[in-house]
Amino acid sequence: MSLYGWLDKRYDLGPLVKFLQHKEVPVGAHSLFWYYLGGLTLFFFMVQVGSGALLLVYYQVGESTSYESIRFITTKVPFGWLVRSIHCWSAHLMIVSLVLHMLSTMLLKAYRAPRELTWVTGFALFAIALGFGFSGYLLPWNELAFFATAVGTDSVKAVPGVGEWLMQVMRGGPDVSGNTLYRFFALHVVILPLITFGVVGVHLLFIQKQGMAPPIGHVPSRGMKFFPDFAMRDVLLWLLCLMLLGSLAVFLPYGPHLPGVEWELGHKANPLAPAYPGIKPEWYFLWVYQLLKEFPPHIFGLEGPQGAVAVVSLLMAVWALVPWLDRRARRGEASPAFTDLGIAAVLFIAFLTLKAWDIGGGGAVQPDPNAVARACAIWILVAGFAATALRFALWRHTWFVFSAAALLHAALHGLFGVSYLPAGAIAALAAVAGATLTRPGPALAGEPK
């Protein structure tokens, strides 16, 4: 008796095989590439689990052991350097892949009914991935990690009412200490993985149950068999990414040396040492970090950081609720406003990230903020106009109100010297006025809906 027969006799594999044989991936006008991003994110997550488990063999959490054990792993353990480097690279690439996956879902309106909960579970996975990044950053217990965590956890104080309490819960006391390290370790290797397995399971279950979302207006004339056609392509992409990971780990073992994308161990954390200038969080938190800096100490009766946290929370809430806000997509109609909202979000976050990177600052420790704002605005305007031209040329997009508001924001702040928040308020008003006056019309011929 074959193995399949042996298993089938015990577990009745027939329905599962039938399901896999009939499962298809929609093939439409859009590139099939977007459908690989979810699987790619899953691949990077599996690499994280595998490499993380290997690191756990030697990693010893503790104020007097964390730094030393990571140093031991990277210098003495055979292939320890490779495992750590792959763990770090894969973490960043997972976030990249996850963000692209979410963005493609946004632009293809794959969140629309009946897949609202798939979007919400995906959004939850995004938040969990950020939690993984934040908690894992402290574990080497080096200088950069210590101060970045001190700044990051301090910003939690801005949450109204419970901020101070929340910060103390995160830190395990008033300051970042060994208690914080133990908490973050537990979060990183036990709590978050357990939650992730659960949420990923639900996310995948929804996808298997409902299938992959075809673009709006797509007539399912033909589909690609998920198994083996799509699955083999998935594996092919994973193998290419594995080669990429290996190459990056060998040639750039400590990252590309950009602020927020580097993991050189440096010096051990010293809680008594003064913080040094230029401490920045990881790249995917840079926009929040910069937004905190843009707020004055007090605004509308709130502390500045409270204002920033309120804005970030509002934006995140809007993003999470997009499936319910986008009524056109729900009805299966083209929804150019939400397509433009996705582009505007990218421009908004990219502008803040470039500013946090001090692009145009000439490498100075305290760069001229006006020069930085100007250089970043120019980059964003160039990228924004190029994206707009491309959208019009390729897909005949004609509704650009939100992305134009994001560009107006960058131009007012960077080129005309208006402060960030007033410029943002003007741009937001312009966006509301523009959206009210120019109701997005039906899609043009050839426009993806």
Work out how close the CB of 29 gets to another protein at its nearest, in angstroms, rounded to a whole number: 20
Specify the residue, 8 or 24, whose C-beta has the smaller distance to another protein.
24
SS3 at position 224: strand
Q: Which listed residue (64, 75, 210, 438) binds another protein by CB under 8 A?
A: 75
- The C-alpha angle with vertex 280 and arms to 277 and 286, in degrees rounded to 5, equals 140
Q: Shortest approach of another protein to residue 243 CB, angstroms?
A: 5
Is the torsion defined by CA of 83, 89, 91, 97 positive or negative? negative
Least gap, CB of 238 to another protein (angstroms): 9
Residue 97 makes CB contacts below 8 A (sequence gap 6+) with: 37, 40, 41, 44
CB 84 to another protein: min, Å: 9
**Which position among 41, 66, 85, 353 is part of the footprint of another protein (CB under 8 A)?**
85
Closer to another protein by Cβ: residue 71 or 330 = 71
Nearer to another protein, 228 or 362 (CB): 228
Nearest approach, Cβ of residue 60 and another protein (Å): 19
- Contact (CB, 8 A) for 150 and 170: no
Based on CB atoms, which residue is closest to another protein, 86 or 170?
A: 86
With respect to another protein, which residue has the nearer C-beta, 237 or 325?
A: 237
Cα separations in angstroms, 78 against 66, 87, 120, 243: 18, 15, 42, 20
* Residue that is written with structure tokens 């395990």 in the block: 172
Q: Which residue stretch of 73-81, 209-217, 332-340, 388-396 sits at the interface with another protein (rule: CB under 8 A)?
A: 73-81
Which of 41, 48, 69, 74 forms a contact with another protein (CB under 8 A)?
74
258 binds another protein (CB under 8 A): no
Tokens for 39? 């699987």
Beta carbon nearer to another protein, 82 or 144: 82
Minimum CB separation of residue 23 from another protein in Å reads 15
- Interface map 120-139 toward another protein (x if CB under 8 A): --------------------
Q: Exactly one of 30, 62, 63, 81 binds another protein (CB under 8 A); which one?
A: 81
Q: Are 295 and 305 in contact (CB under 8 A)?
A: yes
Question: What is the total residue count of the chain?
Answer: 449
| Maximum CA extent, the chain | 78
What does R_g of the chain's alpha carbons equal in angstroms?
Answer: 24
C-beta of 67: minimal distance to another protein in Å?
14
Taking the complex as a whole, the smallest distance from the CB of residue 232 to another protein amounts, in Å, to 5
Find out whether the peptide bond into 114 is cis, omega within 30 degrees of 0: yes
Check if the beta carbon of residue 24 is closer than 8 Å to that of residue 224. Answer: yes
Give the number of other Cβ atoms within 10 Å of residue 269's Cβ.
22
CB 187, min distance to another protein, A: 27
* Residue 206 CB contacts under 8 Å (≥ 6 apart), including other chains: 115, 117, 118, 121
Closer by beta carbon to another protein, 247 or else 438: 247
Tell me the closest approach of the beta carbon of residue 51 to another protein, in angstroms.
Answer: 15
Binding to another protein by CB under 8 A, coded x per residue (else -) over 215-254, reads: ----------x--xx--xx-xx--xx-xx--xx--x--xx
Structure tokens at 105: 């879902």
Of 403, 402, 399, 414, give the one whose Cα is nearest residue 444. Answer: 399
Q: Is the dihedral of CA 208, 213, 218, 222 positive or negative?
A: negative
In this complex, which beta carbon is closest to another protein, that of residue 231 or of residue 387?
231
> What are 361's two structure tokens?
């600052």
Backbone φ and ψ of 268, nearest 5° = -70, 150
Contact call for residues 367 and 304 (beta carbons, < 8 A) = no
**What distance in Å separates the CA atoms of residue 148 and residue 260, rounded to the nearest whole number?**
10
Please list every residue from 4 through 33 that binds another protein, using CB under 8 A.
none
| Nearer Cβ to another protein (160/228) | 228
By three-state DSSP, how is residue 26 classified? Answer: strand
Contact 94, 244 (CB under 8 A): no
- Count of positions on this chain that bind another protein (CB under 8 A): 22
Question: Toward another protein, which CB reaches closer, 254 or 392?
Answer: 254
Binding site for another protein (CB under 8 A): 74-76, 81-82, 85, 225, 228-229, 232-233, 235-236, 239-240, 242-243, 246-247, 250, 253-254
